[in-house]
Amino acid sequence: MEKSKLHELFKDKSFGEILFDEPMKNHTSFKIGGPADIMIIPNREDDITKSIKFCRENNIRYFVMGNGTNLLVKDTGIRGVVIKISNGFDNIEIQGDKVICQSGALLSKVAKKALKNSLTGFEFASGIPGTIGGAITMNAGAYGGEMKDIVVKVRVLDKNNRVVEFSNEEMDFRYRGSKVVDQGLVVLGAEFKLKNGDFSQIKERMEDLTERRVSKQPLELPSGGSTFKRPEGHFAGKLIEDAGLRGVRFGDAQVSEKHCGFIVNRGEATFEQVLTLIRTIQKIVYDKFNVILEPEIKIIGDD
């Protein structure tokens, strides 16, 4: 659909905040990406369900994102609609040992709320820079924990515009995947079951994990997090380092000197520079070790 017609269609809609020609670099941790024709930032569940239903009924392409922490967007941007579920749709409730969150809630905020209520089990996710929706979608994990370990049920919008709930078992959680990916679902919220614990021990565990992340990961520079999935029997960062690629760069896109599993933006990196670096890493690692590195970051956008 032509951009002018798209803008006209959304001019008077009330799906939350609506932005036109919004630069995606302002919404991704990589700080890379051209404009989205339309960006919707919903405040209520109704905003999400109605906007997606409207897009489906009018055959408008749409993409649902969270905090943009694992996205690499083309410099030409995204045609159609981007629905950003983050601030504004981020309520967190504690009910005994259960935590009930809207999908836009940041993992770090959920972890802090769990700590405040002396609930343990969420510490592993305290430093993951994403939202509940993104974490559920990809079964996010770190330091021995994964979403599947603590999820009770997930509330989603399905392909038929119905709001339904799935249990943990029904979610088909696996390494960096779930039923959300398989069926094109949209996460609206989730319920977690934690355990009562000792405040000081939970706090100490979170501080320890934070220190490990800060000391080992290039958090001081924009990136999309871990660039590649962990290949079976290997670690992506170690393979990249052993291939002699530490610090290699194309323009402002660079293999982090602090952790080779990350590609960082040294300033004004472009999509093409990052993509060239990704492909170069994949080819050299495959040539040297016969291991295929699969991107963990999601590459989106239109030419």
The pLDDT of residue 12 is 85
Select which of 17, 45, 241, 296 is catalytic.
Answer: 296
Fold of 92-214: 3.30.465
Select which of 51, 178, 226, 256 is catalytic.
Answer: 226
Give the CB-side neighbour count of residue 274, counting CA atoms within 13 A.
30
Is 296 annotated as catalytic?
A: yes
Question: Which residues 6+ apart lie within 8 Å of 46 measured at CB?
Answer: none
Q: What does pTM read for this prediction? A: 0.93
Contact 82, 65 (CB under 8 A): yes
Mean pLDDT of 186-215: 96
Is 191 annotated as catalytic?
A: no
Fold of 3-84: 3.30.43
Domain boundaries, the chain: 3-84, 92-214, 218-300
Left if phi > 0, otherwise alpha if psi is -120 to 50, otherwise beta: which for 244?
left
- Tell me which of 3 and 118 has the higher pLDDT: 118
pLDDT tens for each residue of 24-52: 999 999 999 999 999 999 999 999 999 99
The identity of residue 47, as a single letter, is D
Q: CATH code for 218-300?
A: 3.90.78.10
pLDDT tens for each residue of 91-135: 999 999 999 999 999 999 999 999 999 999 999 999 998 999 999
Contacts 24+ apart (CB under 8 A), 248-256: 248/277, 248/280, 248/281, 249/277, 250/274, 250/276, 250/277, 250/280, 253/277, 255/281, 256/218, 256/221, 256/223
pLDDT tens for each residue of 258-275: 999 999 999 999 999 999
Say yes or no to pLDDT of 1 above 90: no
Select which of 176, 178, 223, 256 is catalytic.
Answer: 176
- Tell me which of 3 and 244 has the higher pLDDT: 244
The pLDDT of residue 44 is 94
Is 176 annotated as catalytic?
A: yes
